[in-house]
Amino acid sequence: MNTTIPPYLQRGDKIAIVSPARNIPFEEVFPAMKLFQKWGLEVVLGTHVFGKHHQFSGTDEQRRQDLQQMLDHPAIRAVVMSRGGYGTVRIIDKLDFTKFSQYPKWIVGYSDITVLHSHIHRHMGIQTLHATMPYNIKDREINEIAVESLRKALFGEKISYSKPLTFWDRTGLTEGKLVGGNLSILSGLTGSPSDIDTREKILLLEDVDEYLYHLDRMMISLKRTGKLKDLKGLIVGGLTGMKDNEVPFGKSSHEIIREAVEEYDYPVCFDFPAGHEKLNVALYLGRKAKLVVDKEVSLIFE
């Protein structure tokens, strides 16, 4: 199935910032607002983007209303999520994607935003952007490469990436649509209407602050549900801050993932610059890409 590419941005376009998950203060979003304005974009904020309801940016209904408004707004060309955390899955089934399907726009984010990526790909076939968010675009912490990749992706400039080969990589060349995101989120979506379809796809996985035995359990679950069997390739992004128990699990995060896909023959790439790291490059999810794992690793989008 062909996927739909939302219109690329042009100077003067409107871009929205909403908070469908955890709360965030104004000071942590302001640098991104300045950056988007520097790109010639007009920033529109969700009503509850800086709200607070326990750990969320608002009640489920408030967060839903904010996102729904931006999905429906005819002049908004991209909806950027301020941060991840937890909460998007609580509102996904109450969102109406009718207008969004008729007039697609870029959905931007990662981590908890994997819920939106997976749901949109499964039901609408519209491309989205796995990319850095305002939470990461702080004056002192800004990663120029990650931010520039986001600008290029939004404005339709060509993006491709290369990185050194690692000990854990499995060589090969493949092509397929790139899907995926945060492993914990994808695991939680199993069996739901937002469950990911990995058949004939290149799968991206990343995660943060997980225990090694949790990581193993999730990889075994992916394998048991057939999601690792028919892949075209596997890209493993950041496995950031992985934790172990007092009694060690006995395998590293790389060993756990490599073991889970050992019986398959597609190329596998580790330590790709995507996920909960400062270098989190923009990736078109739902778009066909070529993955080359040879003397170096290259990811090239059509």
pLDDT digits (tens, 9 = 90+) for 251-287: 999 999 999 999 999 999 999 999 999 999 999 999 9
Mean predicted confidence (pLDDT) in 109-130 = 98
Q: Give the pLDDT score at 2.
A: 83
The pLDDT tens digits of the residues spanning 64-90 come to 999 999 999 999 999 999 999 999 999
Q: Are 212 and 242 in contact (CB under 8 A)?
A: yes
pTM listed for this prediction: 0.97
The bridge status of strand 76-81 relative to strand 106-109 is parallel
The bridge status of strand 288-293 relative to strand 172-182 is antiparallel
Whole-number mean pLDDT of the chain?
97
Mean predicted confidence (pLDDT) in 97-109 = 98
Q: Enumerate domains of the chain plus CATH numbers.
A: 14-155 (3.40.50.10740), 160-301 (3.50.30.60)
Q: Are 120 and 14 in contact (CB under 8 A)?
A: no
pLDDT of residue 1 exceeding 80, the answer is no
pLDDT of residue 150 exceeding 90, the answer is yes
pLDDT of residue 59 exceeding 80, the answer is yes
Mean predicted confidence (pLDDT) in 29-51 = 98
Q: Give the pLDDT score at 164.
A: 98
pLDDT of residue 91 exceeding 70, the answer is yes
Q: Are 153 and 281 in contact (CB under 8 A)?
A: no
CA–CA gap between residue 176 and residue 154 (Å, rounded):
21
CA–CA gap between residue 118 and residue 199 (Å, rounded):
13
The pLDDT tens digits of the residues spanning 206-249 come to 999 999 999 999 999 999 999 999 999 999 999 999 999 999 99
Output phi, psi for 296, to 5 deg: -145, 175
pLDDT of residue 139 exceeding 80, the answer is no
pLDDT of residue 153 exceeding 70, the answer is yes
Q: How much of the chain, in percent, has pLDDT values that exceed 90?
A: 97
